Amino acid sequence: MTHLDQYKTVAGAALSHHVAKKSRFYGEATSVHTQALVKNFLAEVKERNPRASHYCYAYSIGNGSSRREYATDAGEPTHSAGPPILNAIRACDLSNVVCVVTRYYGGINLGVGGLIRAYGQCARDCLHNATIETKIFYEKLCLSVNYPDIGNVVNLCKRLGGKVVDIKYEPDPIVEMQLRRSTLDTFKSQIQAYRIVT
């Protein structure tokens, strides 16, 4: 089960190739964290494969209650392409990932069952070929502190697995940091004397 503040995603890009009754399927997957990046990746895939007959894809972005998932059949029969790709993403427990399966029609109709198998297999192969990495969801926090307390705040941030992004000293000290989502409440309870700027 995915933790509140960490997730598995694809490192770099992953590829696969599948043939079914002369139709060729090419899978491509990469890590994304916005819908704009999904659109950019899809545009790149189309540019690489200008003569393909279909570009079906699915993505999963975010985690927990904020997770957004989407799948499209892109002209194939309903539920024959997008959902099998999304199921492959879910089966691998991945997030912040998009998988596009490009099809070159081979002249023989596969039927809905054949399409489900072909798109699903191509997506599964693609994700199994991927290098999977675990990443952390961080929340940004800016804190107004007194000069003598900067060290304590920085040490607390690091102790909780966070990162100090920047410290501004003028006109008053502000520490900008990234904290793991799961440690936010603990951090806030220990720094009640300070003002959270953002």
* Beta bridge pairs of residue 70: 59
Q: Residue 110, CB half-sphere, CA atoms under 13 Å: how many?
A: 23
Q: At 131, which amino acid appears?
A: T
Q: Determine the distance from the C-alpha atom of residue 22 to the mean position of all C-alpha atoms in its chain, rounded to a whole number.
A: 32
97 and 170 part of one domain? no
- The mean pLDDT value of the chain amounts to 90
**Residue 1 belongs to some domain of the structure:** no
Mark whether 33 and 13 lie in a shared domain: yes
Q: 56 with 152, same domain?
A: no
pLDDT tens per residue, range 158-178: 888 888 988 988 888 898 998
E-strand ranges in the chain read: 6-11, 13-20, 23-31, 54-61, 68-72, 97-104, 131-136, 138-144, 163-168, 174-180, 195-196
Domain shared by 39 and 131, yes or no: yes
Residues 90 and 186 in one domain: no
Last residue of a domain, one of 112, 135, 158: 135
Domain with 37, as residue range(s), is 6-135
Residue 189 has a pLDDT of: 82
Q: What is the pLDDT of residues 18-68, one digit of tens each?
A: 999 999 999 999 999 999 999 999 999 999 999 999 999 999 998 777 889
